[in-house]
Amino acid sequence: MKEQEVKRTDVNTLGEFGLIEHITKDFNNIHPSTNKGIGDDAAVLDASGRKMVVSTDMFVEGIHFDLVYSPLKHIGYKAVIVNLSDIYAMNAIPEQITFSMAFSSKYSVEAIQEIYEGVRTACDLYKVDLIGGDTTSSTKGMSISVTAIGYAKEEEIVGRSGAQVGDVICVTGDLGAAYLGLQILEREKQLYINHPGIQPDLAKAQYLIERQLKPEARKDAIDYFRKNEIIPTSMIDISDGLTSELFHICKSSGVGAFIEEGKVPIHDDSQMMALQFNMDPITSALNGGEDYELLFTINEKDLEKVRYMPDIYMIGDIVPKDDGIKLHTTGGNRHDLKAQGWNHFQT
């Protein structure tokens, strides 16, 4: 597409209030808990005796997203999804979000609107109300902050600290794909920088790239828990890699864990791509981030109910703390798992 064909309206032509009105006009509130949304100094919420669960995340251009390969719509979508995932990981249901942005003059009204199309798609699909935010300028690039607000009965809330020896460790979907998707996008970006004329060959990488650019949150798992009266003993969402999240659960709960290598779910495309990157597929599954699957532990009495969940994998057991946090390899060895995770401050 040629630059000059793209309509570009400078943000200053609308002004701050005009812009806010423009980008939020297609949002409608659906929850009775949203007493007052956008348009006043603050939103008003009604928890109706339920517990409120609140989570915030920031996304910074160049750190968490790269405009070279992230469509604007996907940036808005993912920023919302990542926050909803944190609410689901508490076994709560999100009903509201706020969405705040600081952006430089390189962003046009059309660009901001595209981001909001992604926000609206996520709000529609996951049934959450956009109840406010803030809009301001920055000297360089874009920063986004999203806050999600969810609700649950007190006894439904699941933290990281309830795992007990004998519990079964479960995960809601395959792991490592988002990380491998990112590796592909970074590789193609370098290729493009070195050979600007070249068209990227992404045909075989579609699943992995989608897992990176357009992740989903596991609302279906929480809905299943509600319907079947299951309350996991502990739960966390996999944003920093399975090992890292397992360490959080074990540390908070004062337990150890055994993971069976052969039971860790890895998509066929991930297997293939990991090998192309000279990486052991299990390494990307254990340490790759941004899968936004739920890792949870379940008491043995609930095992039968969980077994029929779609897309569920039972990958190990909670053991006494002194037994450590270990991987049983398919070759019959036992390794200590080492948490690597993401470190945004690493240079």
Q: Which residues lie near ligand ADP (CB under 6 A)?
A: 20, 24, 38-41, 99-101, 130, 132-135
Q: Which residue's CB is nearer to Mg ion, number 133 or number 265?
A: 133
Binding partner at 224 among Mg ion, ligand ADP, none, C-beta below 5 to 8 Å by kind: none
**Binding segment toward Mg ion, per CB under 5 A, in 38-46, 127-135, 227-235, 330-338:** 127-135
The answer to whether 316 and 165 have CB atoms below 8 angstroms apart is no
Q: How far is the CB of 39 from ligand ADP (least distance, A)?
A: 5
Spatial separation of the C-alpha atoms in residues 287 and 342, rounded to whole Å: 9
Residue 134 makes contact with Mg ion by CB under 5 A: yes
- Which of the stretches 90-98, 131-139, 188-196, 246-254 binds Mg ion when contact is defined by CB under 5 A? 131-139
- In angstroms, the CA 337 to CA 259 distance is 9
Q: Shortest distance, CB of residue 111 to Mg ion, whole angstroms?
A: 20
DSSP code of residue 38:
B
- How many chain residues touch Mg ion (CB under 5 A)? 1
133 binds, among ligand ADP, Mg ion, none (CB under 5 to 8 A by kind): ligand ADP
Strand extents, DSSP E, 9-153: 34-36, 44-45, 51-60, 93-103, 129-132, 135-137, 142-152
Pick from 159, 161, 165, 158: nearest CA to 321: 165
Minimum distance between the CB of residue 72 and Mg ion, rounded to whole angstroms? 22
Quote the least distance from Cβ 100 to Mg ion, whole Å: 8
Report, in Å, the least distance between residue 344 CB and ligand ADP. Answer: 24
**DSSP 3-state of 230:** coil
H/E run at residue 186: helix 177-194
Q: Is the Cβ of residue 17 or residue 308 nearer to Mg ion in the bound state? A: 17
Specify the residue, 97 or 242, whose C-beta has the smaller distance to ligand ADP. Answer: 97
Site string for Mg ion, 21-60 (x = CB under 5 A): ----------------------------------------
d(CA 280, CA 302): 33
Q: What are phi and psi of 21, to 5 degrees?
A: -60, -45
Residue nearest to ligand ADP (CB): 132
CB atoms within 10 A of CB 165: 14
Residue closest to Mg ion, measured at CB? 134
Q: Is 203 exposed, middle or buried (0-12, 13-18, 19+ CB in 10 A)?
A: exposed
308: which DSSP letter? T
Per-residue DSSP letters for 90-129? TT-EEEEEEEEEEE-TT--HHHHHHHHHHHHHHHHHHT-E
Give 328's strand partners: 260, 334
Taking contact as CB under 5 A, which single stretch among the options 70-78, 134-142, 195-203, 251-259 is the one that binds Mg ion?
134-142
* Residue 15 Cβ vs Mg ion, minimum distance, rounded to whole Å: 13
If the CB atoms of residues 96 and 287 are measured against ligand ADP, the closer one turns out to be 96
Among residues 39 and 262, whose Cβ is nearest to Mg ion?
A: 39
Query: Which x/- pattern, by CB under 5 A, does the window 82-121 give for Mg ion?
Result: ----------------------------------------
* Minimal distance, residue 134 CB to Mg ion, in Å: 4
CA dihedral 241, 141, 148, 244 (to 10 degrees): 10
